[in-house]
Homo-oligomer: A and B are copies of this chain.
Amino acid sequence: MPRTAATESFKFNHTMIRIKDPKVSLPFYMDTLGMDLLSEQNMGDFTLYFLGYDHDGIADLPAEQRAKARFNREGILELTHNHGTESDSSFQGYASGNADPGRGFGHIAITVQNIEEACARFESLGVPFKKRLTDGKMRHIAFILDPDGYWVEIVPGALTL
């Protein structure tokens, strides 16, 4: 329910993170995490990839409707690839946001219905973990690492706190 008329149309559309190499990151987000590529825009020096779980089938719409539809929903991930980082041996990599200097952003989180099954699948796919279900005190959540080292929290849909 909108809190005020001035903000009633607002939606939390997307989160943007930079990636070093789309050839590595797209398979991670699309195959390992199962997102759909909703839009890809080559901006010259960089390319933007908009991904999301395509609950409404917007990936099948004509291009113009698809672009509009992805701005009118929530849960979109924007990956920015600055061309050249993937082959630049002097590129230092991006900050995960979880260490100084650079602390700020923490993680993105994916809800899954069966977290034991999901984590077993990540293990079988060779995905690196920051925190397995069995590590530490919080045994109901896990953290995996994306190809740039960003933390991706895995949360059970049945969780109640």
Contacts and interface: CB of A to CB of B under 8 A. Distances in A.
A88 interface: no
Given A12-B77, A71-B111, A77-B12, A95 B101 contact: yes
Contacts of A78: 106, 109
Contacts of A96: 104
Interface residues of A, number: 72
Interface in A136-157: 148, 150, 153, 155-157
A121 B75 contact: no
A71 B13 CA distance: 17
Nearest to A41: B161
Contacts of A16: 105-109, 153
